[in-house]
Structure 1
Amino acid sequence: MPPRIRPRRALSAYLVAAALLAAGVTVAAPAPAVRAAVPDTVPLTIRNDSGRADQVYVYIIGTELSTGRQGWADASGTFHPWPAGGNPPTPAPDASIAGPANGRTLTIRMPKFSGRVYFSYGRKLVFKLTTGGLVQPAVQNPADPNRDILFNWSEYTLNDAGLWINSTQVDMFSVPYAVGVKRADGTTASTGRLRPGGYRGFFSALRAQPGGWSNLVQTRSDGTVLRALAPGHGIAAGSLSAGVLDDYIDRVWSKYASSTLTVTPFAHQPHIRYHGRVSGGVMNFTDGSGQVVTSFRKPDSDSVLGCHKHLDAPNDAVRGPLSRTLCAGFNRSTLLTNPQQPDTGPAGFYQDAVTNHYARHIHARTADGKAYAFAFDDVGAHESLVHDARPQNAYLTLDPLD
């Protein structure tokens, strides 16, 4: 599956190849027949079922895969590179597309990008350009100009191997939407939809969660609920304790000082196993010959919630897959109950009192149980993603805020 484009996170923006390499899978160039089956643009049909009267604005931004240039696409799918930015940042060109009114649809074109489809209600988003490129919304910063705008985004990659499109809550949980793709045989796959009452239910559950989790919720001065920050952003913003998961992390490190954690990172290669033991405060992983292949310092809560820092995951065949597995196990609190990882059975997820409650409450309210509530929620295929090698149409449905 493709990785996600995440500010502050270490994954490559080239979604498909990076994820496959991290899983130890050889990436072959698509056959000419496959390349011919994926056109330069694919239609994206946006349906507005939000029930809101606000004007919707849509943006397609990202990296043009044929050139590596960053830019935006208009409604026809034509690429426009960003102009040079400045310091301080300068306003970006208006890349907005007027979206459909409530109850209506609009079809535009998606180009071969690794990027995002943003949508906002009532106000246009503010994008700026620095000398290093585009500055995207970062609402964990109270001074961000988009802080009081109701908005969200989907991530996608369209390349010669097909279309990957997902819903994501890696950075925040906000206005609900679903994504889908129409296949060559006429069938449609979709994901991302919440259960009835799931949107309001999530915020109610998070506000009732002891331990400061309610502080992740952001509202506008008029009382409008805008979003909940992902807990890693909450730590950075000072709204969630930096030690929120430390008790669980300490217990894991203590357990594996006297027992072994076995990781089988590739389901299609069950003979590849690594064995982790904690010594001197460091978890060392050995291969079948007993050689140490990589080591992890005890992570802090932010490393776990962001799947970075002490749980860095390079695009290699050893450390990256091990880090992904540890990250998933910590966030889902399965490392104490199952020494054979990854644990892919959702019945055992989030059962410890110290866990990623943000992710727990999101997954409990999605119609298919799928979500990207943290960076490596795809471990065990629990991610909200659809893919097709010969996409006929992509879909983005703006759902009610109920």
Structure 2
Amino acid sequence: MEEDLSAHRVPRSRPRPTALVAALALAAGLVVTSTTAQSADAAAPAAVKAVPATIPLTLTNNSGRGDQVHVYVIGTELSSGRQGWADASGAFHPWPAGGNPPTPAPDASIPGPANGQAKTIQLPKFSGRVYFSYGQKLVFKLTTGGLVQPAVQNPSDPNANILFNWTEYTLNDSGLWINSTQVDMFSAPYAVGVKLPNGTTKTTGHLKPGGYNAFFNSLRNQPGGWAGLIRTRADGTVLRALAPGHGIEAGALPASVMNDYVNRVWAKYAAEPLTVTPFADQPSIKYVGRVSGNTMNFTNTSGAVVTSFQKPDSDSIFGCYKLLDAPNDLVRGPISRTLCAGYNRSTLLTNPNQPDTSNANFYKDAVTNHYSRHIHAQMADGKAYGFAFDDVGAHESLVHDGDPRQAYITLDPFN
């Protein structure tokens, strides 16, 4: 889980959204475990259908900006496992060998649509990303280990002053999964969609009217250092808000920002049990956590200790990794995903039975993931990937269909 969606080398990576992990694992014939089993369950019946090698992807530019848009389709070709990029026709091009120091990657850009226009390209069977940038092309480089993707938490990254964003997707024989992600940053607004065989379209990712500015204004006014996540260009252009884990890495957010909440959780569950039921469709599978010293031990229904977690720091919570690592297994991963969601949404103190999947209970504590809170508050459908396991309880901004006819990315207004 400690890899990015397209399996490329990145300076620092976040766990993949579990629905996309499920899609990739299904393609490889692996056992899938997820806090939201519906993605895997929905994909399984579609495996008998012949999803074509490519499907149309229509990009519509409603941004209101006059900048030239540059589009990139990069990822892992699922039929071969090779990493590379696709051109507008969906043809695959493997990356050449990289170097040390990194060497420039081939120009994989596709000219995007002008404001008020649309353009259709072909989306291949990748586990990958579709990047889009405004005004400038992105800088990609290759090392001996593969592609180095943008890491904008690093101010010296060559893409740090470029306005851009990306969607993550998997297209395989079980269908299409495509998301609107804020796991790493909140930036240029966009929505995604998939056209079903009956002609209807599922969409997600649109902000409420005025939601873009409302998000940044809310973050600016959030006490505790959260305004430090906002990045602007020298000319005053707002570029993005870093996700809080990247903000800690960049020194923009205090590393102790979640400590008070963690301390209270630790005190509570030293005195009483925390029950985790990680699979909604398997209510008999339960694990009970109790704190002893610096360790939270989880036992199964037989009383045997199955896994243990050390007291997490803020970065582990926001990134759902390190001290909250979530391997794709049947025990530790599902428990960790549940804890990660509970910490980010601050539901662990109010509900000793996790996961708490009611968004009416989320982000109520003064100490919480305010970045994710403000994102969800501005989404038209309330759904987002504000952190890696925002799919716990199906609150993620992802659409899927087992027999997709077309994919959509809509570049939305900056207002």
Partner letter of residue 107 of structure 1?
A: T
Deviations 1:194-239 (A, max 9, x none): 0000000000000000000000000000000000000000000011
Is the Cα–Cα contact under 8 Å of residues 48 and 103 in structure 1 kept in the other structure?
yes
Residue 9 (structure 1) aligns with: 14
- State the distance in 2 between where 1:34 and 1:327 align: 31
Q: Does 1:23 align with 2:34?
A: yes
- How do 1:217-256 residues align onto structure 2 when only pairs under 5 Å count? 217-256=230-269
- State the distance in 2 between where 1:15 and 1:83 align: 29
TM-score by length of 2: 0.93
**Structure 1 position 18, deviation (Å):** 4.6
Is the Cα–Cα contact under 8 Å of residues 15 and 157 in structure 1 kept in the other structure?
no
- How do 1:11-90 residues align onto structure 2 when only pairs under 5 Å count? 11=16, 15-18=22-25, 21-23=32-34, 34-90=47-103
**Structure 1 position 32, deviation (Å):** 10
Is the Cα–Cα contact under 8 Å of residues 53 and 101 in structure 1 kept in the other structure?
yes
- State the distance in 2 between where 1:359 and 1:259 align: 29
Is the Cα–Cα contact under 8 Å of residues 53 and 124 in structure 2 kept in the other structure?
yes
TM-score by length of 1: 0.96
Residue 362 (structure 1) aligns with: 375
From the superposition, tell whether residues 110 and 15 of structure 1 become closer, same or farther in structure 2 (CA, over 3 Å): farther
**Structure 1 position 23, deviation (Å):** 2.6
Is the Cα–Cα contact under 8 Å of residues 155 and 165 in structure 1 kept in the other structure?
yes
Residue 279 (structure 2) aligns with: 266
Secondary structure at the counterpart of residue 364 of structure 1: helix
Is the Cα–Cα contact under 8 Å of residues 14 and 114 in structure 1 kept in the other structure?
no
- State the distance in 1 between where 2:45 and 2:96 align: 34
Q: Which residue of 191, 194, 199 corresponds with 1:181?
A: 194
Secondary structure at the counterpart of residue 59 of structure 2: strand
- State the distance in 1 between where 2:155 and 2:60 align: 31
Residue 169 (structure 1) aligns with: 182
Is the Cα–Cα contact under 8 Å of residues 4 and 15 in structure 1 kept in the other structure?
no
Partner letter of residue 32 of structure 2?
A: L
From the superposition, tell whether residues 38 and 189 of structure 1 become closer, same or farther in structure 2 (CA, over 3 Å): same
- How do 1:88-127 residues align onto structure 2 when only pairs under 5 Å count? 88-127=101-140
- State the distance in 2 between where 1:170 and 1:96 align: 24
Q: Does 1:399 align with 2:412?
A: yes
Uncovered stretches (5+) of structure 1, i.e. residues with no partner? none
Is the Cα–Cα contact under 8 Å of residues 47 and 106 in structure 1 kept in the other structure?
yes
- State the distance in 1 between where 2:25 and 2:299 align: 24
Partner letter of residue 16 of structure 1?
A: A
**Structure 1 position 313, deviation (Å):** 0.2
4+ runs deviating over 6 angstroms: 24-28, 30-33
Partner letter of residue 9 of structure 1?
A: R
Residue 141 (structure 1) aligns with: 154
Is the Cα–Cα contact under 8 Å of residues 46 and 403 in structure 2 kept in the other structure?
no
- State the distance in 2 between where 1:172 and 1:210 align: 19
Q: Which residue of 306, 328, 342 corresponds with 2:319?
A: 306
Secondary structure at the counterpart of residue 186 of structure 1: coil
